[in-house]
């Protein structure tokens, strides 16, 4: 979705400048040009967790996600790209 949005911004740069003004349009185009190369090789992942019936809902460390600086057991940081 974001790749399509960014490509549309770039393709319609003149219209963005006309309708939004120079500064907002330039900010959007800068974002598009910075982010487009980073999107290649990424994929969206949706994770749904379900508590088993009878399991008590007690706050514990497993109820929280790890921070962005935490590495997984395979040595890859969560923000790294997925090999295709």
Give the tens place of pLDDT for each residue, 20-42. 999 999 999 999 999 998 888 77
What is the predicted pLDDT for the residue at 39? 85
Question: Which residue spans within the chain are E strands per DSSP?
Answer: none
What is the predicted pLDDT for the residue at 58? 66
Alpha carbons 24 and 47: distance in angstroms, whole number: 35
Which of 22, 26, 32 lies closest to 2, judged by CA? 32
Q: How much is the pTM? A: 0.50
Which of 76, 56, 60 lies closest to 68, judged by CA? 76
What is the predicted pLDDT for the residue at 49? 86
Alpha carbons 65 and 72: distance in angstroms, whole number: 12
Give the pLDDT mean for 1-24. Answer: 94
Residue 72 CA from chain centroid, whole number: 18
- Give residue 50's pLDDT band: very low, low, confident or very high (50, 70, 90): confident
């Amino acid at each position: 979705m974001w790749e399509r949005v960014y490509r549309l911004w770039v393709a319609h740069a003149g219209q963005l400048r006309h309708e939004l003004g120079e500064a907002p349009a330039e900010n959007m185009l800068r974002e598009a040009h910075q982010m487009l190369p980073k999107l290649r090789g990424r994929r969206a992942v949706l994770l749904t967790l379900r508590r088993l019936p009878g399991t008590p809902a007690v706050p514990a460390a497993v109820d929280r996600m790890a921070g962005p600086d935490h590495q997984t057991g395979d040595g890859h940081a969560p923000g790294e790209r997925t090999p295709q």
